[in-house]
Structure 1
Amino acid sequence: MAGRETSVRDAAGLEALISPAAAPGKGLPAVERWNPDFCGDLDMEIRADGTWFYMGTPIGRQPLVRLFSTVLRKDADGKTYLVTPVEKVGIRVEDAHFLAVELNVSGKGDDQVMTFRTNVGDIVEAGAENPLRFAIGAENGGLKPYLLVRGRLEALLARPVMYDLVNHGEDIAIDGKAMFAVRSKGIVFPIMPSGELELQSR
């Protein structure tokens, strides 16, 4: 695979490798069903702010980033790969695979639906199949919400989206304990015990 690593400005080899698997009009490729040979690691990284880097340089072509994002897969070994029917290459992920950059909230109470848009154009409704989870940042103790997009791939909520989400939170009794939580598609997602929410910079 190393022979195909030219530069971001000439990423035709990578694009050609992936394009047949992600042809327009076919929906997302069936990466979960593919079992190709592992061909080594690629010098590609997804940074915490959602920027993709190839050989140390940001990938400026958003359509190319979107193309790569459609063949991402995180396996049970905890590693992330770009997968085609014939090859699988490892890449690095600093935090989450995607960044949730927009939130739309419709309905009220149990009918409320939270719909997110990611930095690569995925539209995801939080619910039983796409749950929200909440972590505390090791660096400063700040709240870090994540949304499961598909498979094992997650999106970190961008800071403005996080604040928007928290504005829709409410105190809900869960197993006899008051929790600050949000609702979407009939599912309650607890954030933390009521009164303990402390938003800090990530």
Structure 2
Amino acid sequence: MPYEPPPELSGLSLAEVAELVAARKLPPVSQWEPAHVEDSHMRIAADGLWYHEGGEIRRPAMVRAFASLLTRDEDGQHWLVTPSQKLSIEVEDAAFIAVDLKREGRDIAFRLNTDDLIIAGPEHPIRSHGDPDTPALYLAVRNGTEARLNRSTYAQLAEIALENDELAVTSGGATFSLTPA
């Protein structure tokens, strides 16, 4: 069965986004503790492209499948986890890129480069990093992984924040500062 990406974010209500998020069945990687640990020879570049042994992985369905197996431990190491293997993966910045957003009321949904949909809130906070000259915004995704907001998505979020003359946004009942600490 071929992969069908979700509809464009602009054409969905946040209720529809929430339904799509709930319908996606992800592997229970946090429950798996495989004994076999080694290196995957994979890398996720800062621009969100995936590589294996130096060659780009060009099949979006393959990237999406691998992305569903990602975790990040407390030391910041990313892993691809299956029931039988735990493979390290090099991540240059963030495992995902947030490529679009939609605001509805006081809630904000994001689309990632893997077509994942995430609604920001207490379980998926927005974090500001860097300094005032080179800030970066990140969205918590799952299992310790994050998405860095690309330039246009960052600009969209900044516009939302500036509507209220403050550098913060609210989503899911939580407020997130866009100013690096």
What's the TM-score once normalised by structure 2's chain length? 0.81
* 2:113 aligns with one of 119, 134, 141: 119
CA drift at 1:171: 8.1
Deviations 1:136-180 (A, max 9, x none): 16xx932200000112010000110000000000487xxxxx952
Deviations 1:70-101 (A, max 9, x none): 00111223211110011111110000000000
Displaced runs of 4+ in structure 1, greater than 6 A? Answer: none
Alpha-carbon separation, structure 2, partners of 1:74 and 1:192: 25
Alpha-carbon separation, structure 2, partners of 1:186 and 1:101: 23
Show the counterpart of 2:149: 157
1:171/1:181 contact within 8 Å kept: no
Show the counterpart of 2:172: 185
Task: Note the aligned Cα RMSD (angstroms).
Answer: 2.1
Alpha-carbon separation, structure 2, partners of 1:26 and 1:88: 23
Structure 2 gap ranges (5+): 1-22
2:69/2:81 contact within 8 Å kept: yes
SS at match of 1:144: strand
Larger gyration radius, structure 1 or structure 2: 1
2:158/2:167 contact within 8 Å kept: no
Identity of paired residues, percent? 39
Show the counterpart of 2:127: 133
What's the TM-score once normalised by structure 1's chain length? 0.73
Structure 1 gap ranges (5+): 1-24, 173-177, 194-202
Tell me the matched-pair count.
158
Determine which structure has greater relative contact order: mean sequence separation of CA pairs < 8 Å that are 6+ residues apart, divided by chain length.
2
Alpha-carbon separation, structure 2, partners of 1:101 and 1:171: 21
Distance change >3 Å, CA 26–CA 192, structure 1 → 2 = closer
Alpha-carbon separation, structure 2, partners of 1:171 and 1:100: 21
Show the counterpart of 1:69: 67
Q: Aligned AA for 2:122?
A: A
Alpha-carbon separation, structure 2, partners of 1:129 and 1:28: 16
Distance change >3 Å, CA 35–CA 130, structure 1 → 2 = same
